[in-house]
Amino acid sequence: MKPATAGNRAEAIALFERALALDPRSVAAQSLLARTLAARTSDPDETSESAADVARAEELVGKALASSPHSPLAHYARGTVLRAQDRFEEAIREYETVIAIDRNWVEAYAHLGHCKFYTGSIEEDIPLVEQAIRLSPRDPMIGVWFGRIGLAHLLQSRIDEAIDWLERARHASPELTYVHSRLASAYALRGEAGRAAAELAEVRKLSGGDRYSSIARLRAEYLGVPKIRALFEATYFAGLRKAGMPEE
């Protein structure tokens, strides 16, 4: 199994729409459709009608929670919607609610770590993602999770650890473009110019557009509190600059 892609997300959305048409009151169909619509707007490798998707997801999850306020699936979906809106602090509370109801909800740990990261609690990110990996070591999202751990190490200038985790991510999910960009940065920071250049070439080939054409273009997409933005500047973007990515 592989992580979600534009193709399989579109297929899932079509199926959840059919389920909802058959049972408009289904909390599961409302929640799963909301989660999937919101998740694709948060994927750095996918483009979608973000505003429309998020608005629809917010409406669906509101209905789900109104009829089933203690549903962990509905709370999980709401956390994903809030994450898509960059409302990370609120999303944290939703994912914590899910875990309080079900301590084995794997993705809630991973997304909780992701939200902690963007609110500045980077030291809490890795243990939470590692918990998700322990609970589901063969998960289709494993490459994404490896990549998140690698990024956390990279931003804290633990370059060897970053490369180790990012190589695991690349092996598990070679189609994830952002993993190659993080590897390009990490290898450049370690002084391995050849490997850095190869990873940069790969990310441009995979992305198929101009997203990775300049640091300025890429910088506009990165979020987080000032502490996290500063870490991106000092490590990730500095590495990409050394790897040969132009400023503009």
C-alpha torsion 96→148→176→132, nearest 10:
-50
> What average pLDDT does the segment 195-216 reach?
93
Q: pLDDT tier at 234 (50, 70, 90 boundaries)?
A: very high
- The lowest-confidence range among 4-13, 28-37, 41-50, 181-190 is 41-50
Q: Is 141 helix (H, G, I), strand (E, B) or coil?
A: coil
CATH 3.30.70.360 corresponds to the domain 141-248 = no
DSSP for 159-215, written as a single string = HHHHHHHHHHHHHH-TT-HHHHHHHHHHHHHTT-HHHHHHHHHHHHHHH-SSTTS-H
Q: What share of the chain is helix, strand, coil (3-state, %, to 5)?
A: 75, 0, 25
The ranges assigned to domains in the chain are 1-103, 141-248
Average pLDDT, the chain: 93
Q: Using N-to-C axis directions, what is the helix angle for 142-155 and 177-189, rounded to 10°?
A: 30
Same fold, 1-103 and 141-248: yes
What is the tens place of the pLDDT at every residue in 178-200?
999 999 999 999 999 999 999 99
Give Cα separations from 90 to 75, 97, 110, 171 (angstroms).
Answer: 11, 11, 16, 34
- Across 89-143, the runs of DSSP E, i.e. the strands, are none
* The pLDDT value given to residue 44: 57
Q: Is 26 exposed, middle or buried (0-12, 13-18, 19+ CB in 10 A)?
A: middle
The pLDDT of residue 49 is above 70:
no
CATH 1.25.40.10 corresponds to the domain 1-103 = yes
Q: pLDDT tier at 1 (50, 70, 90 boundaries)?
A: very low
Q: Is 245 left (phi over 0), alpha (psi -120 to 50) or beta?
A: beta
This prediction has a pTM of: 0.90
The pLDDT of residue 47 is above 60:
no
Residue (of 221, 208, 209, 218) closest to 240 by Cα position: 218
Share of residues in the chain with pLDDT > 70 (%): 94
Q: Is 157 left (phi over 0), alpha (psi -120 to 50) or beta?
A: left
Q: pLDDT tier at 201 (50, 70, 90 boundaries)?
A: very high
For residues 211 and 233, give the distance between their C-alpha atoms in angstroms, rounded to a whole number: 17
> What average pLDDT does the segment 41-51 reach?
66
